[in-house]
Amino acid sequence: MSTPPFLAAARFPSRRSVVHAPGGMVATSQPLAAQAGLQVLLQGGNAADAAVATAAVLAVVEPMSTGLGGDAFALVYSARDGAVTSLNGSGRAAAAATPARFAELGLDAIPLDGPLPVTVPGVVDAWHALLQRHGRMPLADVLRAAIGYAEHGFPVSELIARAWAAGETRLRANPASARTFLVDGAAPRAGTRFRQPALARTLRTVAEGGSAAFYAGPIAAALVAALEQAGGWLTLQDVAAHRSTWDTPLSTMYRGYRVYECPPNGQGLTALLALNLLDGFDLASLGAASPAALHLQIEALRLAFADAAATIADPQLVSVPTAALLEPAYTTARRARIDPQRAAVIAPAGSLPGGHDTVYLSVVDAEGNAVSFINSTYHGWGSAFTAGDTGIVLQNRGAGFVLDPAHPNVIAPRKRPYHTIIPCLVTHAGRLWASFGVMGGFMQPQGHVQMLVNMLDFGMNPQEALDAPRFELIRPYQEPRAVATEYGADTERALQALGHQIAERESQFGFGGGQIIVVDEDGIRHGGSDPRKDGAVVAY
Q: Which of the residues are catalytic?
A: 358
Please enumerate in sequence order all residues whose Cβ is within 8 A of that of 328, keeping only pairs 6 or more positions apart, or say none: none
Beta-bridge partner residues of 342:
339
**What residues does 11 pair with on adjacent strands?**
none
Q: What does the radius of gyration of the chain's CA atoms come to, in whole angstroms? A: 22
Beta-bridged to residue 372, according to DSSP, are: 75, 362
CA within 13 Å, CB half, 160: 29
Three-state secondary structure call for residue 311: helix
What would the DSSP string read from start to end of 253-283? Answer: EETTEEEEEPPTTBSHHHHHHHHHHHTTS--
Instruction: Tell me the backbone φ, ψ of residue 193, rounded to 5 degrees.
Output: -75, 135
Give the Cα separation of 409 and 152 in Å (integer): 43
Choose among 125, 122, 131: nearest CA to 49.
131
Alpha-carbon gap, residue 539 to 365, rounded angstroms: 9
> Please, are residues 271 and 448 in contact by the beta-carbon 8 Å criterion?
yes
Angle, CA 131 vertex, CA 129 and CA 136 arms, to 5°? 155
Q: Give me the DSSP letters along 104-143.
A: HTT-SS--SSSSTT-----HHHHHHHHHHHH--S-HHHHT
Which has the closest alpha carbon to 52: 128, 148, 120, 156?
A: 128
Contact 461, 451 (CB under 8 A): no
Q: Do you find a cis peptide bond into 480, omega within 30 degrees of 0?
A: yes
